[in-house]
Structure 1
Amino acid sequence: MLTPVPCHLRPLALALLCCGATAIHAATPTLEDVQQLLELSLEDLLATPVITASRQSETRDQTPAHIMVFTREQIRQRRYQNLADLLEDLPGVNLQRGTKSSQFNQFTVQGYLGPNKLLVMLDGIRIGQPSGGNFPVAQNLALYQAKQVEVLFGPAAALYGADAVAGVVNIVTDNTATAAAQGATGTVSVGTGRFGSREASFFTSARINDRLGISVGGHSQHSDRAPLADFYPRYFQKVDGEFDKKTILPAASREDYAGGIRSHSLFARLDLGEQLTAGFYRYRFNSLTSTGDPYAMARYDSGAQWQTTNDTVYARYHHRLSANLRGTLTIDHGAMEVDPRAYYNNAYNGFENGYSYVLSKRTGIEESLRWRLSERHQMQAGLGWQKYSAIEAASMPQPYDTGKSPGSQGMTHPNTTLPFIVPDTQFHNLSAYVQWQAQWSSKLSSVAGVRLDRHSVYGSSVNPRLGLVFAPGKTHVFKALYGEAFRAPSPEESLSAMGRFDGSQDADNRYIGTNFRVANDRLEPEKVRSLSLTWDWRPTQNLNFSTNLYHSRISNLVVTMPTADVITPDVWLRNLETKDNAGRQHQMGLDVSAQWRFRLGANWTGDLWGSASWIHGRIDNGDGVDWQIPYVASRQLKLGTTFAWRDQFSLTPKLRWSSTTTNGRVKAPGALLPPAACSTNPTAPTRCSTPGATVLDLHLGWHKLLDGKATLWLDVTNVLDKRYYAAGGGGRMTFWDMPQQPRRWMLTLDYHF
Structure 2
Amino acid sequence: MNNRKNLAASVLSAICSIGFVTGVNAAEVGSTIDNPFVLDTMVVTATTTPVSEKRATASMTVVSRKEIDDNHYKTLSDVLEHVPGIDSVKFADGAGFEISGESSLTMRGSSNCLVAVDGVVQKTGNSYKSYLFSMNTDDIERVEVMRGAAATLYGADAVGGVVNIITKRDYPAMQTKLTAAAGNFGYQNYHVNTNGSDEKGFWSFSYDKMKKGDYKDGAGVKTKRDMDSDMVNMRLGAYLNDETDFIVNFQNLQQNGSAAYAMPNWGLRYWTTDYHMQTLSGTLDYKSKDGKEGNAFTVLYGKWFSDRKRSKNGNQPAAKWETVDRDNIDVVNRYYRQLSDNNRIAAGVEYQRYSVATVAAPDREISERAAYLQDEWDITDKLKLTGGIRYVSSNSYKSQWLNSLNLSYAFSDKFSIYALSNEFYKTPSTTAIFGSAAFKANPNIKPESGRNNELGMRLAFDDTARLDVSVFDRRHENAIVIQNNPAPDMNQYVNINGVTHLKGAEVSFKKNFGKYLTAKASYSRLVAEADSQIPRLPKTQYTLGLTYDRDFYNVSLQALNRSDFAPNNYFPVGFDNYLLEKNYWVWNLSANYKVKNNINVFAKVNNIFDKNYMSATQYTATGATIGEPLAYYTAQGRSFIIGMEYSF
TM-score normalised by the shorter chain: which range applies? 0.7 to 0.9
- Confirm whether residue 362 of structure 1 aligns to residue 337 of structure 2: no
Q: How does 1:109-508 map to 2 (within 5 A)?
A: 109-112=107-110, 114=111, 117-130=112-125, 133=127, 135-136=129-130, 138-176=132-170, 183-208=173-198, 210-227=199-216, 231-232=220-221, 258-273=224-239, 275-282=244-251, 284=253, 286=255, 288=257, 290-294=259-263, 304-319=271-286, 326-340=293-307, 342-346=308-312, 353-393=319-359, 422-498=361-437
Amino acid at match of 1:725: M
Which residue of the partner structure matches residue 9 of structure 2? none
- 580, 587, 602: which one aligns with 2:502: 587
Q: How does 1:4-23 map to 2 (within 5 A)?
A: none
Distance (Å, rounded) in 2 between the aligned partners of 1:486 and 1:424: 25
Write the deviation string for residues 429-474 of structure 1: whole angstroms up to 9, x where unpaired: 2211011100111111111001000111112111111101110111
Distance (Å, rounded) in 1 between the aligned partners of 2:124 and 2:450: 20
Query: Is the 2:216–2:637 contact (alpha carbons within 8 Å) kept by the matching residues of 1?
Result: no
Query: Is the 1:98–1:106 contact (alpha carbons within 8 Å) kept by the matching residues of 2?
Result: no
Query: Is the 1:691–1:725 contact (alpha carbons within 8 Å) kept by the matching residues of 2?
Result: no
- 691, 697, 700: which one aligns with 2:582: 691
Which residue of the partner structure matches residue 637 of structure 2? 742
Distance (Å, rounded) in 1 between the aligned partners of 2:267 and 2:157: 32
Which residue of the partner structure matches residue 664 of structure 1? 568
SS of corresponding position for 2:546: strand
Distance (Å, rounded) in 1 between the aligned partners of 2:212 and 2:570: 33
Distance (Å, rounded) in 1 between the aligned partners of 2:191 and 2:317: 38
Distance (Å, rounded) in 1 between the aligned partners of 2:355 and 2:81: 32
Distance (Å, rounded) in 2 between the aligned partners of 1:582 and 1:732: 21
Q: CA deviation at 1:227?
A: 4.3
Which residue of the partner structure matches residue 633 of structure 1? 538
Distance (Å, rounded) in 1 between the aligned partners of 2:304 and 2:432: 17
SS of corresponding position for 1:458: coil
The change in CA–CA distance for 1:297 and 1:390 in structure 2 (over 3 A counts) is farther
Instruction: Report the identity percentage.
Output: 20
Write the deviation string for residues 385-439 of structure 1: whole angstroms up to 9, x where unpaired: 222221133xxxxxxxxxxxxxxxxxxxxxxxxxxx6533123222110111001
Farther-moved stretch of structure 1 (278-287 vs 422-431): 278-287
SS of corresponding position for 1:441: coil
Distance (Å, rounded) in 2 between the aligned partners of 1:699 and 1:322: 42
SS of corresponding position for 1:334: strand
Amino acid at match of 1:231: G
Write the deviation string for residues 648-697 of structure 1: whole angstroms up to 9, x where unpaired: 32221111222231341554799xxxxx745xxxxxxxx97952111111
- 467, 488, 492: which one aligns with 1:545: 467
- 583, 598, 610: which one aligns with 1:709: 598
Distance (Å, rounded) in 1 between the aligned partners of 2:103 and 2:174: 36
Distance (Å, rounded) in 1 between the aligned partners of 2:319 and 2:478: 35
The change in CA–CA distance for 1:523 and 1:710 in structure 2 (over 3 A counts) is same
Which residue of the partner structure matches residue 521 of structure 2? 610
- 85, 93, 118: which one aligns with 1:92: 85
Amino acid at match of 1:692: N
Q: CA deviation at 1:732?
A: 6.7
Query: Is the 1:666–1:688 contact (alpha carbons within 8 Å) kept by the matching residues of 2?
Result: no
SS of corresponding position for 2:480: strand
Write the deviation string for residues 195-237 of structure 1: whole angstroms up to 9, x where unpaired: 11001222222113x232112223221110414598237xxxx
Query: Is the 1:219–1:266 contact (alpha carbons within 8 Å) kept by the matching residues of 2?
Result: yes
Q: CA deviation at 1:61?
A: 4.3
The change in CA–CA distance for 1:435 and 1:298 in structure 2 (over 3 A counts) is farther
Amino acid at match of 1:279: V
Q: CA deviation at 1:336?
A: 4.1
Distance (Å, rounded) in 2 between the aligned partners of 1:168 and 1:358: 26
Write the deviation string for residues 597-648 of structure 1: whole angstroms up to 9, x where unpaired: 2326xxxx12211211222222165xxxxxx84222222221111112x423
Query: Is the 1:155–1:485 contact (alpha carbons within 8 Å) kept by the matching residues of 2?
Result: yes
Query: Is the 2:217–2:612 contact (alpha carbons within 8 Å) kept by the matching residues of 1?
Result: no
- TM value normalised by structure 2: 0.84
In structure 2, runs of 5+ residues without a counterpart are 1-26, 623-628
Amino acid at match of 2:120: I
The change in CA–CA distance for 1:261 and 1:370 in structure 2 (over 3 A counts) is same
SS of corresponding position for 1:575: coil
Q: CA deviation at 1:191?
A: 0.1
- TM value normalised by structure 1: 0.73
Query: Is the 1:284–1:307 contact (alpha carbons within 8 Å) kept by the matching residues of 2?
Result: no
Query: Is the 1:206–1:215 contact (alpha carbons within 8 Å) kept by the matching residues of 2?
Result: yes
Q: Which has the higher strand share?
A: 2
Write the deviation string for residues 245-296 of structure 1: whole angstroms up to 9, x where unpaired: xxxxxxxxxxxx5212233332222222352232224253746565434375
Write the deviation string for residues 100-143 of structure 1: whole angstroms up to 9, x where unpaired: 7234644432111x3xx12112233333445x657355543452
Distance (Å, rounded) in 2 between the aligned partners of 1:722 and 1:125: 38
Distance (Å, rounded) in 1 between the aligned partners of 2:519 and 2:464: 10
Q: CA deviation at 1:58?
A: 3.6
Amino acid at match of 1:123: D
Greater CA radius of gyration, 1 or 2? 1
Q: CA deviation at 1:329?
A: 4.3
SS of corresponding position for 1:498: coil
Distance (Å, rounded) in 2 between the aligned partners of 1:38 and 1:533: 27
The change in CA–CA distance for 1:743 and 1:538 in structure 2 (over 3 A counts) is same
The change in CA–CA distance for 1:689 and 1:484 in structure 2 (over 3 A counts) is farther
Farther-moved stretch of structure 1 (98-107 vs 210-219): 98-107
Amino acid at match of 1:120: V
SS of corresponding position for 2:280: strand
The change in CA–CA distance for 1:339 and 1:110 in structure 2 (over 3 A counts) is closer
Query: Is the 2:208–2:231 contact (alpha carbons within 8 Å) kept by the matching residues of 1?
Result: yes
Distance (Å, rounded) in 1 between the aligned partners of 2:573 and 2:457: 43
Write the deviation string for residues 684-719 of structure 1: whole angstroms up to 9, x where unpaired: xxx97952111111112211x1x4211111100011
Distance (Å, rounded) in 1 between the aligned partners of 2:470 and 2:288: 39
Write the deviation string for residues 160-198 of structure 1: whole angstroms up to 9, x where unpaired: 11332211112222124xx5x6x2023221100001100
Q: CA deviation at 1:490?
A: 1.4
RMSD of the alignment, in Å?
3.2
Distance (Å, rounded) in 1 between the aligned partners of 2:583 and 2:160: 23
Write the deviation string for residues 38-63 of structure 1: whole angstroms up to 9, x where unpaired: 55x42xx23x2x33222454433454
Amino acid at match of 1:388: Y
Which residue of the partner structure matches residue 23 of structure 2? none
Amino acid at match of 2:477: S
Higher RCO (CA < 8 A, seq sep 6+)? 1
Aligned length: 602
Amino acid at match of 1:473: S
Farther-moved stretch of structure 1 (517-526 vs 431-440): 517-526
SS of corresponding position for 1:473: coil
In structure 1, runs of 5+ residues without a counterpart are 1-25, 27-32, 234-256, 394-420, 500-516, 565-572, 622-627, 671-675, 679-686
The change in CA–CA distance for 1:633 and 1:319 in structure 2 (over 3 A counts) is closer
Distance (Å, rounded) in 2 between the aligned partners of 1:162 and 1:357: 29
Query: Is the 2:342–2:379 contact (alpha carbons within 8 Å) kept by the matching residues of 1?
Result: yes
